[in-house]
Structure 1
Amino acid sequence: MPVVDVAVSGGISKAHYLVTGSGPGLVLVHGTGATGQVNWGPLIEALSDRYTIVAPDLPGAGETRDPGGPITLHDMVAHVVAAARDAGLERFHLAGHSLGAVVATATAGLHPDLVDSLTLHAGWVRADAQMAFQFELWKELVRTDPAAMARMLLLTAMGKDTLRSWDRTAFDQAAAAFTGLLEGDRAQDGFARLSEANATIDLTGLLPDVTAPTLIISSADDRIVFPHHQLELADGIPHARLLRVPGGHGLPGENPELLTAKVAEHLARVA
């Protein structure tokens, strides 16, 4: 993976990013504890014949090595912009999942001249009391019992229909995969710091500055970022379109075909 130096609040971050494909730029931003490949693998495979796809690892995630300490919204936006520019993209389409949707929104608000379109899944404007409580629990659990954190994340991320369809083997396999994302002190520390960042983000002042055509995708059974948060995003971003789909917060893993289709449709509509 290419690496680019990014100036952040704590010093210099060595930001790793995936780049593949050819055509107009499409930058993909992952959620807490994931990477671009984890959240967007099927979409990358499906669209790399039409787009130059760039997927940065945010500070505290994947292969990126940041200075440590608190992670700010501006730090994460800086990683997105630096990766896109280092990959040679002057302008780009932008898509984000969960925390990635928040970072993508902030990028579009702070750098409207760079963003041709915006697609957001499971985003929010600011954490309410329930979300802040949840992220505090994540931060505590990942440091004390990462396996329990992974199991809880699994049970809340997947939609009810998916969970009902699984047998015990499927649960064990999925739990092992989630646990694997949290293996090692660096991964756990990064997850905890990103969880802390989740609770402090507030996009309110940036929403009116988003000029890119925006699609907001809301999963009906999202129990991590409840659907009313996507409605608030749609109300705040000028001319945004809200699309409700079945499934849970973990739609990128639960039904990647659906998410890929909706992103591709929005890109085609913009073109």
Structure 2
Amino acid sequence: MTDAPARPEPLDHIAAGSGPGLVLIHGTGADANSNWGPLIDALRDRYTVVAPYLPGAGATPVDPAPIDLDSLADRIVATARTAGLERFHLVGHSLGAALATAVAARHPEVVTSLALHAGWVRTTPREAVMFDLWTRLLRTDPALLARHLVLTAMGPDLLDTLDEGGFADLTAGFTAMLDERILGQIDLDTRIDLREAVGRITAPTLVLACADDRIIPPHHQRQLAAAIRQAAYLEVPGGHGLPFEDPARFFSLITAYVDERQAQART
């Protein structure tokens, strides 16, 4: 007699609202509230919104072993089901986009539509060096990593408007989000390889790129869109941190796409 396979353990998460399902996956170093709070508030009147906390965020414990992309994708689906969702629209930012890609490939039956911001198919040596720098800076002084992220994650339209106090405030905000609990997330960033997964995605997909993204540059999103059969590609001004530098614009793009796909799903 063999033991039944263990069920994936749900993640700590925010669940709000009622209506069709919408799952939001945050990026490295952020969390469900900091990445998605305004969008959750805006959509909870017509969607059941579930926003998981990745390992090391919220009350989700740090994973003692290196985080496995596929296993974490399964945990995201288990989290949605815990909140009562059997099918849902799926949105991810950065690492969250890589995870959303994995979810849509492994569980196509649950994904109504897919929206990926700042995603990528495979971590290249350039990004691996950058993520190693993040790890070294975080272990040395989180404020140094915060300064680096302000200068690389934010787009020039925002950076050009900041005075010394503005830079200090933004750096302090980033520093507050950073501690060694996220090292596992950064390690996962270094190991993303979705080349075998992207061809299995069947959901209609929006791949959203930012023209000034210096963390995951737009050529990665173009590659991602080309590999997904039903993907539309949209490139807009802004940096990798668009959800933070211009949340109103970012969330309006996501809302319009999800609402359009939900209307089509009803017909």
Same-fold call, TM cutoff 0.5: yes
Q: Which amino acid aligns with 1:119?
A: A
Q: What residue in structure 2 maps to residue 163 of structure 1?
A: 159
1:50-89 equivalence runs, <5 A:
50-89=46-85
User: What is the root-mean-square deviation of aligned Cα atoms in Å?
Assistant: 1.4
Q: What residue in structure 2 maps to residue 93 of structure 1?
A: 89
Deviations 1:134-167, CA, capped at 9 Å, x for gaps: 0111111111111101111111110011000011
Higher mean displacement: 239-248 or 57-66: 57-66
Give the Å deviation of 1:40.
1.0
Distance in 1 between residues matched to 2:72 and 2:242, nearest whole Å = 22
1:1-271 equivalence runs, <5 A:
15-182=11-178, 187-188=179-180, 190-270=181-261, 271=263
Distance in 1 between residues matched to 2:78 and 2:61, nearest whole Å = 14
Give the Å deviation of 1:62.
2.4
Give the Å deviation of 1:7.
5.7
- Structure 2 gaps of 5+ residues are 1-5
SS where residue 37 of structure 2 aligns? helix
Give the Å deviation of 1:231.
0.2
Give the Å deviation of 1:14.
6.7
SS where residue 18 of structure 1 aligns? strand
Distance in 2 between residues matched to 1:110 and 1:14, nearest whole Å = 17
Give the Å deviation of 1:242.
0.3
Q: Which amino acid aligns with 2:97?
A: A
> Residue 131 of structure 1 contacts residue 199 of structure 1 at CA under 8 Å; is this kept in 2?
yes
Q: Which amino acid aligns with 2:57?
A: A
Distance in 2 between residues matched to 1:67 and 1:126, nearest whole Å = 22
| Alignment: residue pair count | 257
Distance in 2 between residues matched to 1:89 and 1:31, nearest whole Å = 22
Give the Å deviation of 1:55.
0.3
Distance in 1 between residues matched to 2:215 and 2:110, nearest whole Å = 30
Q: Which amino acid aligns with 1:55?
A: A
Distance in 1 between residues matched to 2:242 and 2:144, nearest whole Å = 21
Q: What residue in structure 2 maps to residue 3 of structure 1?
A: none
Output the TM-score relative to the length of structure 1: 0.92
SS where residue 108 of structure 2 aligns? coil
